[in-house]
Amino acid sequence: MNTALFCGLIIACVLLATLLIGAPISIAIGISSIIAILPVLDINAAFLTGAQRTFSGISVFTLIAIPFFILAGNIMNRGGIALRLINFAKLLTGRIPGALAHTNTLANMMFGAISGSGVAAASAMGTIIGPIEEKEGYGKDYSASVNIATAPTGLLIPPSNVLITFSLVSGGTSVAALFMAGYIPGILWGLACMIVAFIIAAKRGYKSSQRYSAKEGVRIVFDALPSLLLIVIVIGGIVKGIFTATEGSVVAVVYSLILSFIYRTIKVKDLYEIIKTSAETTGIIVFLIGVSSIMAWVMAFTSIPSAISSALLGISSNKVIILLIINIVLLFVGTFMDITPAILIFTPIFLPVCEELGMDSIQFGIMLVLNLCIGTITPPVGNILFVGVRVAKTKIEQVVKPLLAYYGVIFAVLMLVTFVPAISMFLPRLLGY
């Protein structure tokens, strides 16, 4: 048995065993990586190098963007921005069949993009729009399934912490290029779900009874405009080179804080809890990135990625077959593993394979994240699925069947992203990346 195969089996078996006994994913990654390197490296050297890799993995300037975007998202989640975006989305959708479901979708896309969290989007939108939909006669299974299916769109539409994480682990893929690449797939996901929601709503007779006068419409637009400008300022500044992604994250914090104080939805005394929550989330993610650097080093040292690449290319020379296999693996992984650790583990494994097939790292990053986003709304451990069910006050078995149609159209978007490079590469190439 060659070294790559032997060490790869050790990583897989130890990682699975530690996860099954309930160990945190970061601890499982660290333990499995150190044990896997022991057959080829002295124990003292293994621990010393592991410690060095942990610190070098988090000593990256771009990484500073993650805690600031998390802080900005938490400020916005508490700052009254969600309600203003919902009112703006309701104005756009009018009285078409399933108008409130379309409002939910658009609001998820906007708020998820601004906050950078699919869970926050599902929770905020489900809490605010859900009762309104129930009052209008919408079924709970319908409203909950729409909210769940569309909440992950904000993880693709920038600014996105998971795309920053991919940039780090992929060896420096441009964050600005990844941000631009996420727009069309994220919007396509939302539009595909809106088509399904429209068809179901038309069959069930769901319509909105609310009308807006011209004066009310203008007021709603002006209320939402400052929140929407955040995306324009941050993403526009990054793309134009006015500031880096890290500097853009600080701009997002300052802007959202000023906006929340203007809206009078956050007081100075609230900041401690917001900063504390952000620090806790940041600590989890940064430590995870640090220990994942050990695994990346172990894989590179033992040539595991090249062995997997050779194995996949040995199965078939057909690019379509290999990409389908990679998608199936990522879809399966996404059903039980959180997005960040999955990116950290599987980017070093599958990126070399896809690059050998001629796929750009930008396109691969979007394909990877889209696959893992589907996992967040899929049993058995999809966190957005459980949050969406909880805020809708319903049961998983009542929403899984309605979700099947959404899974179908989302999978179609995934196939477009996988096999049509222009879907993810058009905007980056247009801007010279």
* Rounded Cα–Cα distance for residues 72 and 69 (Å): 5
CA angle, corner 179, sides to 57 and 81, nearest 5?
105
- Token pair 């000593």 is at which residue? 59
For 206, the 3-state DSSP assignment is coil
pLDDT at residue 1 in the model: 57
Q: Total structural domains in the chain? A: 1
pLDDT at residue 414 in the model: 96
The phi and psi torsions of 14 (rounded to 5 degrees) equal -70, -40
pLDDT at residue 147 in the model: 92
* Cα dihedral sign, 53-59-64-67: positive
Print the domain residue range for 32. Answer: 3-430
- Token pair 């078409």 is at which residue? 96
For 24, the 3-state DSSP assignment is coil
> What's the gap between Cα 162 and its chain centre?
6
Mean pLDDT score across all residues of the chain: 85
The phi and psi torsions of 323 (rounded to 5 degrees) equal -65, -35
CB atoms within 10 A of CB 299: 24
pLDDT at residue 119 in the model: 78
The predicted model scores a pTM of 0.83
Ranges of residues in the chain with a pLDDT under 50 are none
Write down the H helix ranges in 136-244: 140-150, 161-169, 175-204, 214-239
Tell me the residue ranges of DSSP E strands in 245-316: none
For residues 406 and 193, the answer to whether their CB atoms sit within 8 Å is yes
pLDDT at residue 370 in the model: 96
pLDDT at residue 4 in the model: 81
